[in-house]
Amino acid sequence: MSSSIATELAGAAFLAYPYPVYRRLIEQTPVFWLPHVHEPGGMWCVARYRDVAFVLHHAPVFKDTSRIAPPERLTPLDRAMLQRDPPDHTRLRRLASHAFTPRRVQNLEPRIEQISRRLINQIRERGTADFITDYARPLPIIVIAELLGVPFEDHERFSAWSDQIMIGSDSVLGGEEAAHRSREAMAALVDYFTALIRERRQHPRDDLISALIAARDAEDRLNEDELLGMCVLLLIAGHETTVNLIGNGLLTLLRQRDQLSLLQRHPEYLTSAIEEMLRYESPVQRSTPRFAAATFEIAGQRIEQGQQISLMFGAANRDPSLFPDPDRFDVTRHPNPHMGFGSGIHYCLGAPLARIEARVAFSHMLEYLPDIDLATDQPQWKPVTWLRGLQRLPISV
């Protein structure tokens, strides 16, 4: 079972449409062992919604990779909050929240609208576009770069590094070559942020890096490694996923024209439509790694202490025991307790920002691109299985 499922998950049909496989897993093997393809070991994958929720909220699991990996394999991402446990996680998340305030995020909205209008105008002038290159990618990248305080002219470079890190981190598809490129990209990103942090220490500005340097909690503050980890995490988490939400969301709307016209007639459904996009084509299909702190059982499967676990958000979000008619895209779906942003203590810190970006993007599309359509219905998906996003999406307007 395990090696055949690994082959299946690495196949083109799965990348194009993973949901029948997820349904079968939910029904037949809700917890299964997925071997790593290019290195020893593997991980338990959990597909059913209630089991995913159990692991996130109740199971004895930890995230701190430094407890199990040799120091030379750790990167700054391993020192960031996403791979830490309480009390370190609590402390890092609290310090980040001091800098990443709701006000800072809310204040970004006019700027997001401005960037979006400029990108849309360029598309309208040309009449055709690759929606990913011309809109879905630049919008979140410019936003997270400006938020952090990364100079505009460097956007392209760090976006390429971020892509390489994501592709190299896929244990199902990523080979030695991809892992090598990912390590090089991480080294380049670390050098880049080290220099930028040094500069901002001397000349603080009104940006998130300066705010993170200054963030204090009583006598506590971020040390150098933690600052670096935080910047790398925010940069990567802050754009890979939002690009995918906007790209996947548009493809879904253009394939389900009845839902698009319902939204055109009733823009008040935009908020629930975006939640449905997060459920229906989740940008994060599998969680980041967790490890069993003690042996425990789930859905009749014994997980040994130290073994790796991954939660299949993409499958859980289509679990029929929670979502009636789960393969139907319904912009009015309510309630919609999807796990597109995860759940529990690692629930996405950037969810409010991602929601604002998506709201601006789709309200502008409804308003300024009423005739938007697919130029071809053969979209190219990125060669990654734990994230879900398009490489290209040709459109006409």
Residue numbers of the site for ligand HEM (CB under 6 A)? 81-82, 93, 144, 233-234, 237-238, 241-242, 245, 283-284, 287-288, 313, 340-342, 346, 348-350, 353-354
To the nearest whole angstrom, how small is the minimum distance from the Cβ of residue 102 to ligand HEM?
Answer: 13
Which is closer to ligand HEM, CB of 174 or CB of 342?
342
Which is closer to ligand HEM, CB of 346 or CB of 397?
346
Residue nearest to ligand HEM (CB): 350
To the nearest whole angstrom, how small is the minimum distance from the Cβ of residue 358 to ligand HEM?
Answer: 7
Which is closer to ligand HEM, CB of 85 or CB of 184?
85
To the nearest whole angstrom, how small is the minimum distance from the Cβ of residue 59 to ligand HEM?
Answer: 13
To the nearest whole angstrom, how small is the minimum distance from the Cβ of residue 390 to ligand HEM?
Answer: 14
Which is closer to ligand HEM, CB of 8 or CB of 64?
64
To the nearest whole angstrom, how small is the minimum distance from the Cβ of residue 111 to ligand HEM?
Answer: 14
Which is closer to ligand HEM, CB of 30 or CB of 247?
247
To the nearest whole angstrom, how small is the minimum distance from the Cβ of residue 286 to ligand HEM?
Answer: 8
Which is closer to ligand HEM, CB of 5 or CB of 234?
234
The b/e string for 192-226 (b: 16+ C-beta within 10 A; e otherwise) is bbeebbeebeeeeeebbbbbbbebeeeeeebeeeb
